[in-house]
Amino acid sequence: MKTDKQDAPVNLLDVAREAGVSRATASLVLRNSPLVAAATRERVQQVMQRLGYIYNRGAANLRQNRTNTIGLVLSNISNPFFSTLTAGVEEANDASEIVCFIADSAESPERQARQIQRLREHNIDGLILCPAVGSDERVIADLDRLGLPFVQVLREIPGCARDYVTVDYAAGIDEAMAHLVTAGRRRIVFIGNFSTHSAARARLEGFNRAAARLGLPSLPVIAGGRDNRYDEAALDEILASSEPPEAAICYNDIIALAVMGHLRRRAIGVGSDFSVIGMDDLSSASASYPALTTIATMPHRVGEAAARLLQKRISRPAKRSEQLVITPRLIVRESA
Amino acid sequence: MKTDKQDAPVNLLDVAREAGVSRATASLVLRNSPLVAAATRERVQQVMQRLGYIYNRGAANLRQNRTNTIGLVLSNISNPFFSTLTAGVEEANDASEIVCFIADSAESPERQARQIQRLREHNIDGLILCPAVGSDERVIADLDRLGLPFVQVLREIPGCARDYVTVDYAAGIDEAMAHLVTAGRRRIVFIGNFSTHSAARARLEGFNRAAARLGLPSLPVIAGGRDNRYDEAALDEILASSEPPEAAICYNDIIALAVMGHLRRRAIGVGSDFSVIGMDDLSSASASYPALTTIATMPHRVGEAAARLLQKRISRPAKRSEQLVITPRLIVRESA
DNA sequence: CTGTTAGCGCCTTCAC
DNA sequence: GTGAAGGCGCTAACAG
């Protein structure tokens, strides 16, 4: 015969009775209010400990209209970039006793809408969102209608100047291009552009502008596809042309690693004959051979920044919106 | 002047009044009860739509003692293996209207305890846990005391036969070893063992047993370290010995990729002179050059299975505990 | 099939 | 400093 378990979870009234105080006093102890005498506090805390009391935030939320939860809705949580971003969010939250719901829109605006709705029903205090490809202003309008604080990460729904954390892709690509030119490369190709979200556009535009500024010949962009694919045939074609590229900047590290493998199968020396630069600096970038030169976009930092910005927004709903831009850094290894 | 916004969120009573029914009826509509007439349901739903009503699950939870939330506490969420597992959990949850809190224990039992406590305060219905290295039975005892349903994934706290989803590492390693022996390799080394959690033990034991069964010479294990490091010096030493290994089975893909890079720097032909086999089949395994032969441990499936098992446990708290073992599969590519 | 009543566990206000 | 009362939004139990 065990002791009483979940038959009746101990609540604040039980604690109060046992400690010989009122519910209100026990509640104050719970929230570390200075209004309660040290001795009383001590006694109540001991009772809580002894009875195995668990603070029922659900009940508190109902009263306070604040849940200390946020939502994190990403377009693809199994992507290592996003999982590191998630870790950053976590870290910032851990400090502030916030707990985080996670959802994966899998790039589907409909699924994303469902998930936001669901989180909304759970009364999240705020939302960090990387909008699925194809999301439009209605998402933002919805959030506004509900008065739900949110910050966008990496991608931005066009035409809404709101809280936003992103990476200065153009700056990273500038640095990478400069590095390539210094090494004597001039025919540089961009590989793997696919989606038309703001982060993808920023990369391609950054590439084109840098190429123009440096007076480099313009080569066709090698298209990308779903799930970090790219058009291998197009790459082969351009490699076989009379003026083949000498270097590539890739949409991300995953594509860069695939490109490296492809080049080496074609017996093209990566780093010597041909330079490859990736983007993100995933852990697999440093482990590859040759080690991948890449533009570190610091997902952990992006996540932390987004979580902190959201906290600010939640505490000051009317404050001016803020755009945070994380500056990436070129990590030179062996591939370029 | 905007219309009324969050000044007073519309609640079920508002809906009921507007639709000319009672709160109870509106509540039944909300939960798709068959007890309500089709016409009434229709009318109420339209009102909900029109008023922008949002179901307040927090309030419902208070009443029902069920929140439709679960917790997912992992030892390292930025590890691609775990992020894919998370996607699997998500997918299973999405179907059942469950929403998922995520937490990263970062291999710290103390942090893990804090996070579980926090989730508990939010009244999660159940927990999926990959225990941090160093967790002991107290974690389980705690969960039991609270009557919180849980399932462990991948790692198991010793001596507690409870709901558990894992991978049959030994079977995977058997298959890999057989593959190597068929290819004529006999001196096989295991690289990168580090932690002493059950999943790490299972791999090493599987390796040793397979080696014994196949009558292979026994070589020293190359130790691993935090963050997927391994002892490079020890590998060099054994490579320089009079009877160097001809193949390696690595603790996971991340280590395998690093080992491949190291070998190629030493001008050892991976796939030809020396075979390398990884574990997990991360996306970077197929993108590497040479493409990594690896034991696919199917994290997505593990996640889905864990989520479903947890659902079963939640709906039948007293049912016998269940151990699910996912059988991995050797994916033969170029490195072995 | 629909309405009434009585809380779920907590926090806030206001007395004392 | 502490106690008593009321209510957050919802649902369970029952009455009609």
The string of DSSP letters for B301-326 reads HHHHHHHHHHHHHHH-TTSPP-EEEE
- Residue ranges per domain, chain A? 4-55, 67-166+300-325, 169-296
Residue B6 has pLDDT above 50, yes or no: no
Residue with tokens 């219905």: B125
Q: Which residue is nearest to nucleotide D13 (CA to C1')?
A: B24
Average pLDDT over residues B109-117: 95
State which residue of chain B sits closest to A147, comparing Cα positions: B6
Q: Which residue has the higher pLDDT, A87 or B16?
A: A87
Rounded average pLDDT over B131-144: 93
pLDDT, average across residues A183-193: 95
pLDDT band at B216 (very low <50, low <70, confident <90, very high): very high
Q: Is B103–A90 a contact, with Cβ atoms under 8 angstroms apart? A: yes
Decide if pLDDT at B272 tops 90: yes
Q: What DSSP string describes B69-85?
A: EEEEEES-TTSHHHHHH
The answer to whether the A4-55 and A169-296 domains have the same CATH topology is no
Q: What is the rounded distance in angstroms from the CA atom of residue B281 to the CA atom of residue B253?
A: 7
> Using the beta-carbon criterion (under 8 Å), do A111 and B94 form an inter-chain contact?
yes
Those nucleotides of strand D lying less than 7 Å from any protein Cβ are 1-5, 7-13
Helices B137-146 and B109-121 cross at an angle (nearest 10°) of: 10
pLDDT tens digit sequence for A248-268: 999 999 999 999 999 998 999
Q: How many CB atoms within 10 Å of residue B334?
A: 17
- pLDDT bucket at A17, cuts 50 / 70 / 90: confident
* pLDDT at residue B3 in the model: 35
Under 8 Å CB-to-CB from B293, ≥6 apart: which residues?
A: B176, B179, B275, B276, B277, B278, B330, B331, B332, B333, B334, B335, B336
- Are A126 and A148 in contact by the 8 Å Cβ rule? The answer is yes
Task: Nearest by CB to B87, from A91, A97, A104: name it.
Answer: A104
**CA-wise closest residue to B235 among B215, B217, B259, B252:** B259
Q: Which residues pair with A166 in a beta bridge?
A: A325
Read off the pLDDT of each residue in A271-281 and give the average, rounded to a whole number.
Answer: 96
Distance CA B147, CA B162 (A): 13
State pLDDT tens for residues A48-98: 988 888 899 989 988 888 899 999 999 999 999 999 999 999 999 998 889
pLDDT of residue A6: 41
The answer to whether A13 CB is within 7 Å of strand C is yes
Whole-number pLDDT of residue A193: 85
Topology annotation, domain B169-296: Rossmann fold (3.40.50)
Stretch A176-190: mean pLDDT: 96
Contact call for B58 and A56, based on CB within 8 A: no
> Taking 90 as the threshold, does the pLDDT of residue A204 lie above it?
yes
SS3 B161: coil
Buried b (16+ CB within 10 A) or exposed e, A178-205: ebbbeeebebbbbbbbbbebbbbebbbe
The pLDDT score that the predictor gives to residue A159 is: 85
Cβ-Cβ contacts under 8 Å between A and B: the total is: 166
**Length B64 CA → C6 C1' (Å):** 15
| Structure tokens belonging to residue B58 | 């927090």
Q: Which residue of B has its CA nearest to A9?
A: B146
User: Does residue A4 surpass a pLDDT of 80?
Assistant: no
Q: Which residue's C-alpha is at the least distance from the C1' of D8?
A: A63
Give me the residue from A102, A123, A289 closest to B260, CB to CB: A289
Mean pLDDT, residues A147-171 taken together: 94
Distance from CA of A161 to the nearest CA of B (A): 20
Confidence of residue B2 (pLDDT cuts 50, 70, 90): very low
Q: What Cα–Cα distance (Å) separates residue A81 from each residue in A264, B77, B80?
A: 25, 11, 9
State the distance between the two ends of chain A, measured CA to CA, in whole angstroms.
Answer: 70
B40 CB inside 7 Å of strand C: yes
Q: Are strands A329-331 and A247-250 parallel, antiparallel or unpaired?
A: unpaired
B146 interaction partners in chain A (CB closer than 8 Å): 6, 52, 54
Question: Which residues from 53-112 of B have any strand C atom under 7 Å from their CB?
Answer: 59, 62-63
How far is A318 from A184, CA to CA, in rounded Å? Answer: 51
Q: Which residues of A touch B103 (CB under 8 A)?
A: 90, 99-100
Residues of B in contact with A79 (CB under 8 A): 83
Contact list in A for residue B259 (CB cut-off 8 A) is none
Contacts of A60 (CB under 8 A, 6+ apart): none
* Structural contact between residues A299 and A280, judged by C-beta atoms closer than 8 angstroms: yes
Give B 179-238 residues with CB within 8 A of chain A.
228
What pLDDT is stored for residue A33 in this prediction?
83
- With beta carbons less than 8 A apart as the criterion, state whether B191 and B232 touch: no
Q: Quote the distance between the C-alpha of residue A295 and its chain's center.
A: 17
The whole-number pLDDT of residue A146 equals 85
Split at pLDDT 50, 70, 90, the class of A176 is very high
% chain A with pLDDT above 90: 71
pLDDT of B287 reads 86
pLDDT of residue A196: 82
Q: Tokens 């049912």 sit at which residue?
A: B319
pLDDT tens across B220-256, in order?
999 998 888 899 999 999 999 999 999 999 999 999 9
Among A254, A256, A258, A251, which residue's Cα sits nearest to residue A276?
A256
Topology adopted by domain B67-166+300-325: Rossmann fold (3.40.50)
What is the CATH superfamily name and number for domain A4-55? Answer: lambda repressor-like DNA-binding domains (1.10.260.40)
Q: Is the CB of A321 less than 7 A from some atom of nucleic acid strand C? A: no
A178: left (phi over 0), alpha (psi -120 to 50) or beta: alpha
Please tell me the predicted confidence (pLDDT) of residue A5: 37
Q: At what angle do helices A23-30 and A12-19 cross, to 10 degrees?
A: 110
